[in-house]
Amino acid sequence: MNQCEELLKLLMEAIRQDEQKREKTKMDGSIPVGVSNRHVHLSQADLDQLFGPGYNLTNIKDLSQPGQYACKEVVTVCGPRGAIEQIRILGPVRKDTQVEILAGDCFKLGVKAPVKLSGDLTDTPGITLVGPKGSVQTQRGVMIVQRHIHMLPSDAEAFGVHDGQVVDLEVEGPRGGVLKNTMIRVTDQSQLECHVDTEEANAFGLGGASRVRIHF
C-alpha cells in the first residue's frame, strides 16, 4: 500500500467514525463532551512580541473543532498577585488575544475574570503574558468561558434549537445534575460537541468519553 492509499484509508476511517458519532446522537439525543483547560489565543502582533517577529505556531494536535489545534508553544500568565506557567497556546492566531482561565485561577492571579462567551472581550480585564522573546501587557481579554455547544445548522434543526439560545444540560452519573446557562453556537464549520472547562467537568464527573443531553 503506497502513501496515498494509506492517507485515503485514514480519511475514510475518520469519516466513518464521525458518521457513527452522528448516528449515535440521532438515536439517543446525546451530545459528546469536550473538556478544556486554561489556554491562550494570540493575535499575530502579540505572538511576534512573545516569540519573535514572523513567528509561526507549531501544531502538535488537531482539536475537535475544524481548523483549531493545540500548539507546542506555551506562555506564562502573570497577574497582580501571582503567575501560572506553561499555559498552552491554541491556534490559529486570532484578531485579538484572549486568555481563558478557570474560576480558581482568579485568586492566584489576582484578577476578576467575568464569565463570557469566547470572542466577546467587552468589559474583560487585561493581564501580562511572558514568552521566550518578550512580554505583552494586554488591555483586555481575560475571561472564564461560558459553557457552550458547537453544532452545525443541521444539528440545531434536529435538536430544535437555534444559535444564541441558552439551554440547560442534563448530566447523568453519580455526580450528575443540570448545567444551566449553556449557549448554543451554530456555524457551518462546527463539530457537534459540548465544551466545559476542567472545573465544571470535575464537579460533574465528566470526561472526554462523556455525553450530555439538552434538558427541555
* Rg of the chain taking only CA atoms, in angstroms: 19
**Could you tell me the CATH number of the domain that includes residue 188?**
2.40.40.20
Domain that residue 54 falls in: 37-145
For the chain, how many structural domains are there in total?
2
Cell output for 13: 476511517
Please count the helices (runs of H) and the strands (runs of E) in the chain: 5, 15
Same domain, 187 and 137: no
Cα 55 to chain centroid distance, Å, stands at 23
Q: Return the percent helix, strand and coil in the chain, to nearest 5.
A: 25, 35, 40
Instruction: Enter the DSSP assignment of 49.
Output: H
pLDDT digits (tens, 9 = 90+) for 169-202: 999 999 999 999 999 999 999 999 999 999 999 9
* Domain edge (last residue) among 125, 145, 165: 145
Cβ atoms 46, 136 nearer than 8 A: yes
pTM for this prediction: 0.85
Same domain, 141 and 155: no
Judge if the upstream peptide bond of residue 53 is cis by omega within 30 degrees of 0: no
> Is residue 137 one of the residues assigned to a domain?
yes
> Is residue 69 one of the residues assigned to a domain?
yes
Same domain, 45 and 129: yes
* Domain edge (last residue) among 145, 161, 193: 145
**Degrees, nearest 5: CA angle 208-213-216:** 160
* Domain edge (last residue) among 122, 145, 168: 145
Distances (CA, A) of 3 to 6, 13, 15, 61, 98: 5, 15, 18, 21, 39
Backbone angles phi, psi at 210, to 5 degrees: -75, 160
pLDDT digits (tens, 9 = 90+) for 121-168: 999 999 999 999 999 999 999 999 999 999 999 999 999 999 999 999
pLDDT digits (tens, 9 = 90+) for 35-64: 999 999 999 999 999 999 999 999 999 999
**What span, in angstroms and rounded, lies between the C-alpha atoms of 195 and 38?**
13
Provide the pLDDT confidence category of residue 22 given band limits of 50, 70 and 90. low
Same domain, 129 and 157: no
